[in-house]
Every structure is written in C-alpha cells, then in structure tokens.
Structure 1
Amino acid sequence: MRILITNDDGIYAPGLEVLESIARQFTDDIWVCAPSEEQSGMGHALTLTRPIRMKRHDDRRFSVSGTPTDAVTLGLRKALDTAPDVILSGVNRGANLADDITYSGTVSAAIEGALAGVRSIALSQVMPHEGRGGGNHEIFSAARGWGAKVLAPLLDTPLARRTLVNVNFPPVPADAVKGIRAVRQGFHDYARGSVVEGRDPRGQTYYWFGLEAIEHTLDHGTDLEAIDEGYVAVTPLQLDLTHHSSLGNLADRFGA
C-alpha cells in the first residue's frame, strides 16, 4: 500500500509526525508532500497568481510554497511516480467540525485527493480549549492511540466516487476515549468570531480575525455531539454541493 501524507499546518508540524507514525502501522511505502509553512484556513485554495516551488527533503519527503491543494496536486503529479492508494491529511492541530470544514485546509487537501480519484481521509485533533476535555495530557494522545483503529476499517471500506472521510479525535487522553461514532456534519449556532483592529508601526490600520470558543447546539448524531461526549467522530463527506430538493422549484420558476 502506498500512502501520500499532507496537511495544512506545514511540513514541520508535530501532527504530521503523528500521522506518519500512524501510517507506518500499515505500510513503509509512505510519501510526504506538505506546505512549507502553515496554511490553516486556506480552504480549497489553488495558487494561480505566482509560481510554486517544491523542495525535496529526502527521497520521499517534499514541501511546497503553496496551499494544501497545491501540495496534493504537486505530490500526485511531480513527487510520486505512481498514484498512491490513499491520501491522509493531518493530523491537524485543532478541530475540523461542523461548518468549519468549509474553511479547512486539512479537509480541502482530502477533497483534492478525492477529486483525483484517490481514497482520501482528513484527520484532526480537537484541542482541550475547543471541547470539554482537559487535563495535562499530551495533546495528540487520542490521535496517537486511536488513529490506527479508525484507519484500519476506512482503508478498505467501499467509498463512493468524489467522497472523502473526515475524522476528529476528542480532546482527552487516549484511555479516556469512549469509542468511534459514524456521524453527520453538525452546524454551529453563530458566524465567525470577532475582528480585532490595530495599527502597524507605520500607522496603517490592520484587521485580525479572532478565534473564540464557539457555542453550539449539540444536535443528536452529529460530529459536535460525538466529540463533546468523548468519541472519535467519523463523517463521510461528498463533493456534490447541489441542493437536490430545490431543483424542481427552481426549474418551475425558470420554466425549465
């Protein structure tokens, strides 16, 4: 089995090392192609206005001066001589739950893999301040302890074309994780956080988006509920964003 690993936290991110150690429980044929620096919140951005550079760190390890989407694209087209069987993205330092997945570079890297026809899985570790977990445990404990348990069935489970799987680990020690749940995507109760205004040394105004704790209603059967209750959340996602039940109404409106 050949696995391509990427992320949005950058080539030197601790979570990338965690994911490599998880992947090595299944194969030694592991390739890495990740952004050269953090690209969190980039979503499915593709760099079109400047050239991208790719650096080779060793025979199977590369970094690119672009987005997670750029990294997957170059990994598939330039770094690897044959296509991988699986693309793993992560382990992200922070949650990728509910509607936040639309911002996520971690999930978007898996989206790019799914578009290329490769089985793709995004993995994220919820941090203690993002959930009700706490304590002085190693922050990737749940991912380290449960990563292989989650991946083992996902590596050979039939998946529909243009779909991917989003995995989130709860913010608790591995021995406190209650199990794994297959759940749907939830939704947060309010829009993004505050906008902090400041002035740079030249007196120019700048803005910085804040990331406060997000309040949400824990709808039953969602990723938000699973994480809150101490379970690993596994959510299948599809790339078809069409709201099919609205097609008939719009067709009537346009006389089609």
Structure 2
Amino acid sequence: MKILLTNDDGVTSQGLLILAKTLAQKHNILVVAPESEQSATGHAITVRMPIWVKRVRVLEEFPIYATTGTPADCVKIGMEVLANKQIDMVISGINIGHNLGTDVIYSGTVSGALEGALLGVPSIAVSAPARENFDYYSASFFISNFIENFDFSILEPFTALNINFPEGDIKGWKATRQSIRRYADRFEARTDPSGNTYYWMYGDVVEDDSAPDCDYCVVSKGYVSVTPITVFMLNERALLQLKEVENGKKNKTSWRFGS
C-alpha cells in the first residue's frame, strides 16, 4: 500500500518517524507533517495564507515533507498534490499523549485521520501515553499488523479509527466507543514584565464514564482502544425529538433551550 503519514507533533517527532520506518518495511511511505507542533489545532485548515512545503532530510528511506500548515492541510496537500491522489491509507500519529473522549474535538492528530476519511481512504489516528520511555517500536509493529489484518471495508464512508495505546504491555485490542472523558478547566492569571495580565490554561481530567467499553476504561486495563469516529456531529436522537416538536406531537411550549 501507499500510506500517507502525518501528525500534529511535528515532522521530527519520534512517534511519527518510528512508525514510518516500521511501515516502510512492507509499504510505500510518504510523510507530510507540520514543520512545528500543531497540537490542539482541531480540524483547522489554512485558507487565507500560503502553505509552504519543503522536502526535509530527516530520513533517507522515503520522502518526508514539512509544511507550515495544519495536520488537515498536510493530508490535503499530501493526497491531492504530492501523491496525485494515489494514496491507499492515511495514518496520523503516533501522537505523544492520548486522544480519548472529548480530546477528539481538539486533536490535530485525530483531525488528520478524519481528513483522510473525508477524502475517501481508510484512515486511522494513533496515540500513545505521554511519557518519554514509551515503546514506539512495539506500538508501530502493532499498527503494521493491525492494518494488514483489519477489513476496513466494514467501515461506513467518512469514518476513521481512533486508536489509543495503554501503558505497559499490550493485552490485545478492543472495539470501544468514545467516552465522555473531558476536562475541568482552570485559568491561572499571570503578569508579564510590562504589567499586562495574561492567562495560562490547564485543567483536571474528569473520568466519570462507567461503561466498560468506553475508550479510557479499556486503555486503563491494558488494551488498545479502537474507536470508530465520523466527521458528522448530528445527534440523531435530538433530531427525532425536534421533528416531533415541529410536527406538533409534543407540546411546543414545554421545550426550551437551557431547560
């Protein structure tokens, strides 16, 4: 296969390069990644500024391009321009840090995979624990084996797989759903040397999803979490409720935003 790799940690990220070298043993690899970190950029694309693209000599085994764009930009340019649409799969990662629960909204890594899904090819986002001694080689061999044995044709159009690795040894993988894992944000006010106030955002992870098949629950038990995600954000159940209100089947006066 011809595989396009990208990420949001930057073109020299260890997780990206180890995955690329591992997959290059069996596949034709093209790397197109941001020249600098683009974490938490979500699915942003560049529309009012030029996107610079240059080939870099990080490794010699396969072509590697750095861009000034976002992960979604990288996938667009990689597929539409550099590969002339001749790409069989998009893989985004291996990201430094998990992308679980509501992380997928903000993640540049996940958005790289979703852009591949939008362009009609099998796509996966791959993320690992944010620690220096993580074994990217074992994770890369897992991904190599997974893409050779998984039947991507079972996935609906515009669907990507969000894959997260656990700490330590891998017990296997499990199909999971996106959890409601989220953050309780905090903002610390600070003062710059000129006396101006600025804010530093941080927060605490809130993990109160009790479903045994949720992504972070599975990862915490030593399994690789494989979650199908889509670019569409429609809430089907809420749509049915709205239609009932629209058609007069429910009391319109009893339905209020914020109620």
> Into which bin does the TM-score normalised by the smaller protein fall?
0.7 to 0.9
Superposition TM-score, scaled by structure 1 size:
0.86
Whole-angstrom CA distance in 1 between matches of 2:230 and 2:206: 25
Number of aligned pairs?
244
Deviation at 1:100, TM superposition (A): 1.1
- Quote the offset at 1:142 in angstroms: 4.8
CA distance in 2, matches of 1:139, 1:205: 41
Deviations 1:19-78 (A, max 9, x none): 203322431x11011011000001101122322211122672111102111111111222
Give the share of equivalent positions with the same residue, in percent: 36
C-alpha separation in 2, matches of 1:217 and 1:246: 21
- The gaps in structure 2 that reach 5 residues or longer are 249-259
Give the SS at the match of 1:5. Answer: strand
Structure 2 counterpart of 1:254, one-letter code = E
Cα distance in 1, alignment partners of residues 163 and 227 from structure 2:
6
The unaligned stretches of length 5 or more in structure 1 are 129-135
Q: How does 1:126-165 map to 2 (within 5 A)?
A: 126-127=129-130, 137-140=133-136, 142-154=138-150, 156-165=152-161
Task: Mark the CA change 1:141 to 1:195 in structure 2 (over 3 Å): closer, same or farther.
Answer: farther
**Residue 229 of structure 1 pairs with residue 232 of structure 2:** no
Residue of structure 2 in register with 1:131 after alignment: none
- What TM-score do you get using the length of structure 2 for normalisation? 0.85
Q: Which residue of 1 aligns with 2:37?
A: 38
Residue 6 of structure 2: aligned partner? 6
Counterpart of 1:75, as a letter, is: G
Corresponding position of 1:99: 102
2:93·2:127 contact (CA, 8 Å) conserved in 1? yes
Aligned runs of 1:1-256 on 2, under 5 Å?
Answer: 1-27=1-27, 29-57=28-56, 60-127=63-130, 137-140=133-136, 142-154=138-150, 156-172=152-168, 176-188=169-181, 191-255=183-247
**Which AA in structure 1 matches 2:55?**
R
Q: Which amino acid aligns with 2:113?
A: A
Query: Which AA in structure 1 matches 2:107?
Result: S
Which amino acid is 1:101 matched to?
Answer: V
Q: For 2:127, what is the secondary structure of its paired residue? A: strand
Q: Which has the larger radius of gyration?
A: 2
Contact 1:7 1:106 in 2 (8 A): yes
Task: Give the SS at the match of 1:98.
Answer: coil
On the 8 A contact 2:96/2:129 being kept in 1, the answer is yes
What amino acid sits opposite 1:117 in the alignment?
Answer: G
Note the alpha carbon deviations across 1:203-228, whole angstroms, 9 max, x for none.
Answer: 22222221545444442111111111
Q: For 2:210 and 2:133, how far apart are their aligned partners in 1?
A: 25
Which residue of 1 is the match for residue 252 of structure 2?
A: none
